């Protein structure tokens, strides 16, 4: 029998908090109301479950795998830290390997372990490849894209694409027809190409600034083209706000410029939640030193190879720096869910009961997913 839970906490609102009581029944939120005398004592800060739509793994495990146990380990690390909804991300690999990985992730999605799949590659610009094997990058191929869609069995939610490559338009059309969100990323597109793409098939930018040329006042490129599109349309921009991929002032500036269009993501790889060491990101070896993951090129100066944070770490970091917690929660729950069509990331009646309780420093104390309490994070 599904238990009923009554949870009281301080829910963020612009400029402060509301003291609320959330009732959970049969795995769903059944009521959200203001607290009154006689209610249970407060449990701390109460957040909706976080939503990460760009995540390659954690806990020493990768989502770029056909192992059900490895997928479960990676998902569990992030869920225990408050990310109750996540997309599992792949990296560039051979078509046969990608088809196998996508089919395995589809099974995990059908089991409710993940909310869907994000494919990062193989249709990326060579010069902006970052931590993607250059030997495995491919020219955009609509037929292959349809094979990926079929292998995902309805669970492919997002695919990253370099819009300027020949054949990208055909791939974007095939993905759009299948209901897949097309994301601009790992791209050297001009500002006008980026704007046109995000006014057409694209509605998301994969980790803005990373995997693309820096903005220049005479060559604005995809960075300023993307921000311009987000400022006037429905496009969203991902930020890896971990202090490694982006300076904190960059995050603050973008959130000020396009506050309703920011999506915080981790781009996490297997080292998330783990100590420094040697790891894998798809077919590539990765070294993690001082919490920074880089391609193992023997010099220690290889490309950054994904993140090691959990989403709550980014929220905590920027709340401590003075960004309004309600704005951060929109960027880490409601907005990422909405841009990929997921019914998650908010505390409302009828929505799956995903709750995160934290202390005053935003360290998680308890996490609920689907009405069930998960193991308290370490």
| Residues 58 and 268 sit within 8 Å (Cβ to Cβ) | yes
Tell me how far apart the alpha carbons of residues 92 and 122 are, in angstroms, rounded to a whole number.
5
Cis bond before residue 122 (omega within 30° of 0): yes
16 φ, ψ (degrees, to nearest 5) = 175, -145
- Which residue in 133, 267, 313, 354 is the catalytic one? 267
CA angle 293, 296, 298 (to 5 degrees): 130
3-state secondary structure of 299: coil
Q: What residues does 34 pair with on adjacent strands?
A: 20
For the chain, give the number of residues.
Answer: 378
What are the C-alpha distances in Å from 21 to residues 12, 176, 263, 264, 358? 13, 40, 27, 27, 15
Containing 363, the helix (H) or strand (E) segment is: none
In whole angstroms, what separates CA 170 from the centre of its chain? 25
> How many Å apart are CA 148 and CA 88, to the nearest integer?
14
Told to judge if 234 belongs to the known catalytic residues of this protein, a careful annotator would answer no
Buried b (16+ CB within 10 A) or exposed e, 330-365: bbbbbbbbbbbebebbbbeeebbbbbbbbeeebebe
Q: How far is CA 75 from CA 70, 155, 207, in A?
A: 9, 16, 21
Cα–Cα dist 308/331, whole Å: 19
| 3 state DSSP class of 34 | strand
Residues known to be catalytic: 267
């Amino acid at each position: 029998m599904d238990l009923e839970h009554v949870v009281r906490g301080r829910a963020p609102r612009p400029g402060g908090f509301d003291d609320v009581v959330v009732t959970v029944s049969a795995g769903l939120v059944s009521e959200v109301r203001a607290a009154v005398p006689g209610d249970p004592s407060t449990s701390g800060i109460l957040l909706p479950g976080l939503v990460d739509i760009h995540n390659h793994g954690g806990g020493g495990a990768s989502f770029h795998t056909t192992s059900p146990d490895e997928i479960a380990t990676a998902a569990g690390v992030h869920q225990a830290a408050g990310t109750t909804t996540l997309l599992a991300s792949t990296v560039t690999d051979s078509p046969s390997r990608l088809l196998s990985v996508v089919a395995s992730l589809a099974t995990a999605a059908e089991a409710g372990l993940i909310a869907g799949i994000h494919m990062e590659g193989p249709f990326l610009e060579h010069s902006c490849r970052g931590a993607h094997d250059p030997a495995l990058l491919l020219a955009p191929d609509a037929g292959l894209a349809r094979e990926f869609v079929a292998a995902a069995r309805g669970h492919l939610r997002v695919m990253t694409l370099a819009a300027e490559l020949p054949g990208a338009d055909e791939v974007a059309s095939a993905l759009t027809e299948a209901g897949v969100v097309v994301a601009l990323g790992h791209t050297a597109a001009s500002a006008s190409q980026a704007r046109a793409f995000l006014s057409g098939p694209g509605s998301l930018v994969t980790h803005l600034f990373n995997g693309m040329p820096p903005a220049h006042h005479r060559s604005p490129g995809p960075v300023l083209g993307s921000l311009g599109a987000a400022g006037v349309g429905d496009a969203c921009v991902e930020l890896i706000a971990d202090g490694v991929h982006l300076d904190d002032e960059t995050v603050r500036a973008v959130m000020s410029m396009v506050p309703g269009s920011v999506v915080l993501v981790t781009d996490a790889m297997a080292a998330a939640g783990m100590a420094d060491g040697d790891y894998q990101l798809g077919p590539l070896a990765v070294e993690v030193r001082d919490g920074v993951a880089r391609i193992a090129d023997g010099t220690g100066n290889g490309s950054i190879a994904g993140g090691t944070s959990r989403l709550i770490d980014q929220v905590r970091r920027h709340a401590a720096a003075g960004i309004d917690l309600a704005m951060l929660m929109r960027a880490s729950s409601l907005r990422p869910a909405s841009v990929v069509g997921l019914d998650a990331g908010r505390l409302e009646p009828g929505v799956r009961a995903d709750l995160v309780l934290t202390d005053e420093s935003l360290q998680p104390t308890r996490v609920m997913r689907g009405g069930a309490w998960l193991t308290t994070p370490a």
